[in-house]
Amino acid sequence: MKAILKFDLSNPEKDDDFDFKLAVKSKDLAFVIYDLNDFLRSEIKRNDSLTDEQYKVYETIQNKLIEFVTDRDVMNITLEMP
């Protein structure tokens, strides 16, 4: 099975230029999301110096991140990567 993406890069004002960059960097974006979630999870579980307020902020941000990736149906390629 093959999937081929085609982009017309001859006109930088077209959406194809942006779409191409997004396609090429999507794996990096997924790893940024994964790394952010991993950082938040680690801070919540292991940082004993967090105040209650800081803990709640980290938890709120992580919950919102999970909500965003769930709503966009990209949970399996962002937060559950191997």
- In the DSSP assignment, the letter for residue 48 is T
Q: What pLDDT band is residue 12 in, cutting at 50, 70 and 90?
A: confident
| Residue range 26-82, pLDDT digits in tens | 999 999 999 999 999 999 999 999 999 999 999 999 999 999 999 999 988 888 766
Distances (CA, A) of 27 to 33, 34, 42, 51: 10, 10, 22, 34
Q: How is the chain split into domains, by residue range?
A: 26-78
Task: Inform me whether the pLDDT recorded for 11 exceeds 80.
Answer: yes
Burial class of residue 50, CB neighbours in 10 A (0-12, 13-18, 19+):
middle
Return the ∠ at Cα 43 (arms to 39 and 48), rounded to 5°: 160
What is the reported pLDDT for 14? Answer: 79
